[in-house]
Amino acid sequence: MKKKLMFGVSMENMSNFDVFLFKTGVFIFTLFLVSAIPSFANWVTNTHWGWFLGPFIVIWIFVMKALWKKG
């Protein structure tokens, strides 16, 4: 049984290059939001870095657990 991600998408159909392109697209879209919406840019630059690091660590733990999960 294939494990489905959000919206029924399976990672088995994606190559490493596809994952790289997806991550790059998300990064570029974030830069677009910061440059196109001044209030968003203001919020990003005035928010303490710990508020971004905390969710990153939590998400990273879940990703690492999924990668190292046996069988």
Which pLDDT tens digit goes with each residue over 38-61?
999 999 999 999 999 999 999 889
In a domain? residue 8:
no
pLDDT attached to residue 17: 87
CA distances in angstroms from 32 to 3, 6, 27, 45, listed in the order given: 32, 24, 9, 15
What's the pLDDT at 6? 63
- Domain hosting 35: range is 14-68
* Structural domains of the chain, count: 1
Residue 61 lies in a domain: yes
Is 64 part of a structural domain of the chain? Answer: yes
> Is 1 inside a domain boundary?
no
Task: Check whether 2 has a pLDDT greater than 70.
Answer: no
Q: Cα separation of 3 and 1, whole Å?
A: 6
Residue 3 included in any domain: no
pLDDT score at 28: 96
Q: Residue 71 above 60 pLDDT?
A: no
Q: Say if 28 falls within a structural domain.
A: yes
Nearest to 52 by CA among 25, 37, 30, 20: 30
